Amino acid sequence: MSKLLNEEVVSIDKIAWEIYKLTIKSEYVSKNALPGQFINIKCSEGITALLRRPISICDVDRANGTFDVCFQIKGIGTEYLARKAASELIDIIAPIGNPFHLSKDYKKIAVVGGGIGVFPLLYLLRESSHAKRYTFLGYRNKDHVVLEDEYKKLSDKYFISTDDGSAGYKGLVTDLLEKELQEKSIDIVYACGPTPMIRKVMELTNKYDTKCQVSMEQRMGCGIGACLVCACKTKAENEDGWEYSHVCKDGPVFWSNEIILD
């Protein structure tokens, strides 16, 4: 169950170009958050950045009662958030959303992330130690590669791609995924990233008859399902064959066969 919390900032570090990792002390979130869930964070006081910002939970340290979120500066709200300092209190609603479905029946899993969509996959890997873990991460260039040591430690196989070839494979990360899917040995694929990447992952997992869950990246206004900002099309048993779902309330994680990407 999500709660409104005032928690302490432990640290904030710049980890790549305009990307920051924020560590927050919270016994409640560290005990209750599941992979794929997010927080809704108040970036500043006053009306300058009125709406909360949804940010995926990147990792959890239960022993120390902390959790990490990572974010990229994209506007005034995240600019304010990047100015936070250790010992400050921060206003959050957490944890929110439907998580990834993890099962010990999945003996070999693959995670596929693109851009800032890589962040919720780290916690998923940490919670999947029972499985063989394959990681596929795509970035614009080498300057955007983040948390590489952390991902490598939690991966049995680790692949990265960049658009310009400055790190790893030059091209789409889904090209690397397809090579593994062809072996028919992956039980489930978890994906988060830009819509074109998600669309291709869905196409490939359907082609190779592999289970797939996706975490949808959408702008959110309220984070509680009251507004229509984060609406997305999902399949439904009605005359039209589809309906609008809210990413914040009904997601952010969906089975790939539920989603309709126009």
Do 112 and 210 share a domain, yes or no? yes
Span 126-140, pLDDT tens digits: 999 999 999 999 999
pLDDT at position 221, please?
A: 63
- What confidence tier does 86 reach under pLDDT thresholds 50, 70, 90? very high
Do 68 and 150 share a domain, yes or no? no
Do 156 and 73 share a domain, yes or no? no
Whether the pLDDT of residue 125 is over 70: the answer is yes
Whether the pLDDT of residue 227 is over 80: the answer is no
Query: Which residue's structure tokens are 């499985």?
Result: 131
- Amino acid (one-letter) located at 56: S
| Beta carbons within 10 angstroms of residue 239's beta carbon | 6
Phi, psi (deg, nearest 5) at residue 196: -60, -35
N-to-C CA span, the chain: 32
Enclosing domain of residue 256: 217-262
Do 178 and 241 share a domain, yes or no? no
Do 194 and 128 share a domain, yes or no? yes
Exposure pattern of 200-213 as b/e (b: 16+ CB <10 Å)?
A: bbbebbeebebbbb
Do 76 and 16 share a domain, yes or no? yes
Burial of 9 from C-beta contacts in 10 A (0-12 / 13-18 / 19+): middle
Span 89-103, pLDDT tens digits: 999 999 999 999 999
Whether the pLDDT of residue 112 is over 70: the answer is yes
Do 165 and 81 share a domain, yes or no? no
DSSP-assigned letter for residue 156: S
Residue 176: HSE in the Cβ half-sphere, 13 Å Cα cutoff: 23
Phi, psi (deg, nearest 5) at residue 141: -160, 180
CA–CA distance, 209 with 206 (Å, rounded to integer)? 5
Give the CATH number for residue 70.
2.40.30.10
Do 35 and 85 share a domain, yes or no? yes
Do 86 and 168 share a domain, yes or no? no
pLDDT at position 184, please?
A: 84
Let me know: does 156 contact 111? Beta carbons within 8 Å.
no
Span 182-197, pLDDT tens digits: 988 899 999 999 999 9
Which of these three, 78, 96, 114, is where a domain ends? Answer: 96
Residue 151 CB partners (closer than 8 Å, separation 6+): 118, 122, 125, 135, 137, 158
**Cis omega before residue 252 (within 30°)?**
yes
Do 32 and 77 share a domain, yes or no? yes
